[in-house]
Every structure is written in C-alpha cells, then in structure tokens.
Chain A
C-alpha cells in the first residue's frame, strides 16, 4: 500500500488521536476512586497525611482530566471529518450510545470537577466528598458507554439492516453484547493498575529523593498493595477475555498467537518473526502444545488458524507483538508488586531496599504501555472490519485528500509530543513540590470542616 494512501493516513491519524486520548481516561477513571479513598480515609480519622495525598493527586487528576477533555473533543469531530461512512451506516446504534456517554457522564464530571477541585472551602465537607464520588462515578460511567460501543463494533448483535443502514432491534442485547463485560472489566482493572503503578512509582521517586512525608509513605504502601491484589485478578480476567475472543473473533486470537493452520497440539509461540507473505514464522521459539492448553485446556485441543481466514484476517505481526508486550508487562507487574508488598508488609516502607524503589520508578508508566499494547491488539485485531461483518474500514473513510490529512496528522503529532513531555515533566514537578515531613508527623494541622492553613495553599489559576 502506498504510504500516502488517504485511508492509511486517516487510520494513523485516528490511532494517534485515540492513543493520546486514552492515556488520560486510563488515569482519571481509577484516580477518581483513589481520591475518594484518600478523602474517606481522611474523613474517618481527620488524618492530615491523607489530605496531603489528596491535595497532590487531585492536581494530577485535574491536569489529566483537562488533557482527556480536550483530546476527547477531537474524537467527537474525527468521526465527521475523516469517517463519515461510519455514522451513515451504524449511526442508529453508535449515536444513542455516544449520546448517553455525553449526557450521563461527561457533564457529571465536568460540573462536579469544579467543586471537587476548588470547592473544599466553599461547600460543606460532605458535599465535597459527594462531588468526588460523582466525578469518580462519572468517569467510570463514561468508560462504560464507550466500551459498550467498542464491544458492539467487535461483536455486533441486536440489529438488522434495512436499505443498507443498520437499525437497532434489541437495545438490551446491544448494550450487553457478548464481549462487553470482559472488555469493560479488563479495562477498569487496567486503569486501576496504571494508577497504582503511577502512584507507587512517583511516591518511590520522591521517597528516594528525600524520604517524602507521611503522605508519600501512605500512598506508596496503598498503591503497592492495590497492585499486588489486582494483578492476579487482571491476569484471570484477561484469560477469560481471550477465551471470549476465541469464541467470537477466532481470527484475532490466531493472529495473536501467530498460528497459521487449524490443528491440535498448537504450540505457545514465545518468540517469532511472523512472515505474512510466506504465511509462516521465522526463528520460532515455542512451548509444545502450549496454546492448545491455554485456549482449549487440553494438549490435543484444536485451535483455529489463520489459513481458514485468508484475506479476511488482521495483520499478524502487530497483534503478535502487541500481545506479548502487554503480557510481558503484566508478568513484570506481578513479580514486582508481590515482592514489594511482601517487603513492605514485613519491614515497612522505610526499610525497602533502594533497588526495589528504583524498580517501582522504572515501572511508573508501565500501565500506559500495557494498556496501549492491549488496545492495539483488540483494535487492529478487528481489521479489515470497522464493525465486524457489517462495515469495512475502507468503506467508511471520507473524501478528504492525502495532503490535507498528512498536514493535520503532522500538526496533531507535534502538539501531542509537546504536551506529553510537558505533562510528564509537570507530574514530577508536583511530586517534588509535595511536602516532606519528619516521620509520623503529618504536616497538616488537622483542619476542621473547611479551609486548610494558608501556608499550604498552592494557588491555582
């Protein structure tokens, strides 16, 4: 395919926009609940260390939320500017789902965010806690509707086609389509793990610098425990999600495993260079019967291969590698979080070996990488379809020319690179500015209902 093919350019542009966008909801979905947790912990004991943690991470939340809002607006225009065929064909289903997302979730977050961020001294404490709850609920509800639509595009049900246009016949079936529950839970836990490693990594970084305050130790411990508890759940859910995909989109799983022919005793390929022209793998390293065991739970299990779907399956290499990157990071998360949790439980945060803290710092943004890799697998894995069996990606693209798309794509990429650099730099700056305190002495005199001491006020524009 020509590199300047408008279809490829439009796809790269959509991928760039949605990849940039998903980074921030991945953080805000779970960080909203983490903040609610910090707030409730503070409410229970009026313990200032938890409020320190809240004040630091609410800033990260505000920044991430703003990045998510502005990049999300880009998404809602993208359908019209580059993919008009999508709404023309499936608008009757995608429309209501997107409308419900905006109506129920987006506004809820945007309005109560103001109270959550700036309202602590203006409203009673319980209203502030409630605003935090509504914002966290809003982000999760938003994720729900978007995942419903995405899953319906993967495994469409509950519709009929009249005059070439898709019409809904059963909304219950559309919302609870076969892959939705697995994808939703997998994504929510992915968000929780991303935030857990973000908090653990930033806290460990601060701890390595100067020990940080009581708030830093609290959040480090909470984040490591949360990660250690959630990662096995995530691996289990991921496995169920994979089995569900095998049932509904077998060609996707075949590409993930680089399995070319339908057979029994399919090996689990650990390393290979898939060759789509020769339809085989080079330099393959594999565990005999491994894939059959995982996917069919018996060594003789027959697993569908790519040759059954010639000309109608996704590209193999990105799926194969994307899947391995995601699983590899998952395994690293498992090892690191369990070892860290075990060390902290036995000896406390301050006795943690420095190399372990460095390990947590290295893994700060690992959740992002794993989440993106996972989404690439599931989205590229849907190709050549935009809506499986209903609409091909190539049939939805708009009439905008290559040069125009290339310029807008370049513009987006430059802006995104600058913003991502600034975002990460500011995160470290916020972590550095957080308070340091001698052991076991919270920096904050316990505030009563309303404002904290003036000295602690950091001005926000």
Chain B
C-alpha cells in the first residue's frame, strides 16, 4: 500500500506518539511506583489503603510502557535493538522488579496472612528497583551509553533522581486520593521529595548541554534561547508555587487536593519537553536519527491508521476508568 501522507512526516509522527506514551507512562506508573515506595513508611490499615488507591489503575498504567517500547520496537526497529542491547542489565533488572511489583499486588491480598509481610517487602522492593533501573537507563540514554566511571556516577545520580521524582508524584497522588492524617503525612512527603526532584531536574538540565556541543547550541543560541526561556522559568515557578501551596493547611479546602498532582504532571511534561528538544531528531544522541531508524513507510502507515482510531479510544476509556473510581480511595473489594 502507498503511504497516504508524505513519508518524511511518518517518523516524526511516531516519535511524537512514542514520546507521548513514555511521558504518560512516567506520570501514571510514576505515581503507582511512588506510592509503592511510600508504603514502606506506613503499616497495616494505611498501607492497605495506599495500595487500594492504585489498585484499579496500575495494570492500565503499566500498559503505556508496553505501548512506548512497542512503538520503539515497531516504528524504529534499528534503535530498539541498539538501545536495549546497550541497556541489557538494567532492563533485565527492571523487568524482574516489575514482575515482583505486579504480582505481589495480587499475592499480598490472596496469600495466607502470615505471608503478607513478605509480599509487602517484595512490593516495596519491586517498586524501588523499577524506579532505580529506569532512572539509570534515563541517565545512560542521555549520555549516549558512555561507560566511563563519571558516566556511571551520573547514571546512579539519575537513578536516585527518578526515585525522588516518582516519590513526589506518588505523594501528590495520595494527597488527592486519601484524607485525614495520612493525607497530612503525604503532604510532608511531597514537600521533601519536591526539592529532591527539583535538584535532579536541574542537574540533568545542566549536564545535558555540557555533554554535547550540538545540544548546547540548540539551547544557547539567539533567538532560540528567548523562545526556550519560558521552560525553565515555568518549571522553577511551579516548583516554588507548589512548595508554598503545600505549606498551607489543606484540610479546609480539600476540593483543591488535585492541584499538587496536576502540577507534578506539568513539571514532568516540562522536563520531558526539555529532553525531547535536546535530542530531536536523534534517537541515539548524535548517532542515529529517526529517519535512519524508522521502519518502512508502508509499515508505518498501516500502524498509523490503527493508532489514529485506537489511541483516542484508549485515552477515552482510561479517563472513564479514572472517573468511575474517582474520589477518595476506599478499601477495595471484589463486590
């Protein structure tokens, strides 16, 4: 079949779709994983409630990772092979961690009570290890898979940075989904992790242009720099604004409990736009661009037809599911 649009655009569209899936994954599974890590700080009833707050969503949230990696696989087969063979070890560890996280979700509720604690440990460890691996991979990806000692240090820093980011968005999710004392504690967790997240984003933002002349030029050149300045300024304003918002007592105006989550989402999006702008049009820094890595235009257009029909539906029923389970979390049951 012949492509129905200019073949030049197809890789661009798919890079956009892939980016969107990865961004949605990082925000959506980010709050799941963050809540998973925070369960360590609570016990019994509260822990169950925290797990219940993500119960109906985690399956669908994780599927955005399958879609993001799936799009890399199907639209940019060359890059998929190159990136994943480079990241072999963190990928394997992340997969094992995701397996542990996903199944302990089920097992902790269905195994005999005396084993529950063990599955709780696995749930926490799986969430933490997933976040660490993803952060490490983000670092390695930004550095173009440099294996030097400083590069590995940077990757470890990025791993901790993403843990902070996920804890931050997880705490914001809890502010939105729970109430009372647990909500107050979630506010405190959000206040702390907010600064760690801001620091991590600042470090990555400064490191990236220093690593590549091309990226440096893209950011610090007139007139681009004027058009780009709003991104860091907006991020800084949001961080400070949210910190002020969180200091004020929340209970009297609980109808605003969604605000931190929305701000966290926007902050993640801003960080993502920054990285995307630095890299475009490369999939692997300065080595492989989206046109070199793309599958044939025929294959891309047949996927695109399906994607154009299905993606709005997926978005629609994800929203439907969040709407059905809206409001404060309650203990889940199969009733």
Contacts and interface: CB of A to CB of B under 8 A. Distances in A.
Chains A and B bind each other: yes
B40 to A, nearest CB: 15
Given A106-B66, A167-B298, A80 B99 contact: no
Contacts of A59: 110, 334
Interface string A71-100: 111101101110011011001111110111
Nearest to B331: A459
A171 B310 CA distance: 19
B110 A429 contact: yes
A399 interface: yes
Nearest to B319: A111
A220 to B, nearest CB: 22
A84 B59 contact: no
Contact of B303 (A62, A99, A121): A99
A419 B105 CA distance: 13
25 contacts: A63-B107, A65-B59, A70-B103, A74-B95, A76-B66, A77-B91, A81-B84, A84-B82, A87-B77, A87-B81, A91-B295, A93-B299, A100-B303, A102-B67, A107-B63, A107-B317, A110-B60, A110-B63, A120-B334, A400-B85, A404-B89, A422-B107, A456-B335, A458-B334, A459-B109
Contacts of A94: 74
A110 B52 CA distance: 16
B77 A88 contact: yes
Please give me the 3 A-B residue pairs with the lowest Cβ-Cβ distance, nearest first.
Answer: A84-B81, A95-B74, A80-B84
Interface string A41-83: 0000000000000010011001101110111111011011100
Interface in B9-57: 48, 51-52, 55-57
B208 to A, nearest CB: 24
Nearest to A93: B299
Given A460-B109, A461-B55, A77 B298 contact: no
Task: Bin the interface of chain B by size.
Answer: 35 or more
Nearest to B87: A81
Contacts of B148: none
Given A76-B73, A113-B59, A103 B314 contact: yes
B282 interface: no
B151 interface: no
A120 B335 contact: yes
Contact of B59 (A55, A100, A114): A114
Interface string B103-130: 1011111111000000000000000000
Interface stretch (A177-185, A210-218, A407-415): A407-415
Given A84-B82, A422-B111, A98 B88 contact: no
B133 to A, nearest CB: 12
A62 B106 contact: yes
Interface string A435-452: 000000000000000011
B62 A73 contact: yes
Contacts of B101: 70
Contact of A103 (B296, B306, B325): B306
A167 B301 CA distance: 13
A165 interface: yes
Contacts of A74: 95, 99
Given A95-B74, A429-B112, A419 B334 contact: no
A104 interface: yes
Which of A63, A95, A426: most chain B CB closer than 10 A?
Answer: A95
Nearest to B61: A110
Contacts, number: 242
B155 interface: no
Interface of B: 1, 48, 51-52, 55-57, 59-60, 62-63, 65-67, 69-75, 77-78, 80-85, 88-89, 91-92, 95-96, 98-103, 105-112, 295-296, 298-299, 302-303, 306-307, 310-311, 314, 317-318, 320-321, 324-325, 331-335
Contacts of B310: 103-104, 107
Contacts of B321: 111-112, 114-115
A80 to B, nearest CB: 3
Given A108-B317, A119-B56, A419-B103, 18 more contacts: A59-B334, A73-B98, A77-B69, A77-B91, A79-B73, A80-B69, A80-B80, A94-B74, A96-B303, A107-B314, A113-B59, A171-B302, A398-B81, A399-B85, A457-B335, A460-B52, A460-B109, A461-B55
A77 B332 contact: no
Interface string A385-415: 0000000000000111000100010011001
Which of A74, A99, A122: most chain B CB closer than 10 A?
Answer: A99
B299 A95 contact: yes
Task: Bin the interface of chain A by size.
Answer: 35 or more
Which of B82, B102, B320, B325: most chain A CB closer than 10 A?
Answer: B102
A152 to B, nearest CB: 14
Contacts of A93: 299
Interface string A365-391: 000000000000000000000000000
Contacts of B102: 66-67, 69-70
B333 A70 contact: no
B303 A114 contact: no
Contacts of A112: 317, 321
A118 interface: yes
Contacts of B296: 92, 165, 167
Contacts of B78: 88
Nearest to A134: B317
Interface in A134-168: 165, 167-168
Given A76-B69, A77-B91, A96 B74 contact: yes
A302 interface: no
Contacts of B74: 87, 91, 94-96, 98-99
A268 interface: no
A123 interface: yes
A25 to B, nearest CB: 14
Nearest to B67: A102
A203 B1 CA distance: 53
B317 A111 contact: yes
A144 B85 CA distance: 29
A117 interface: yes
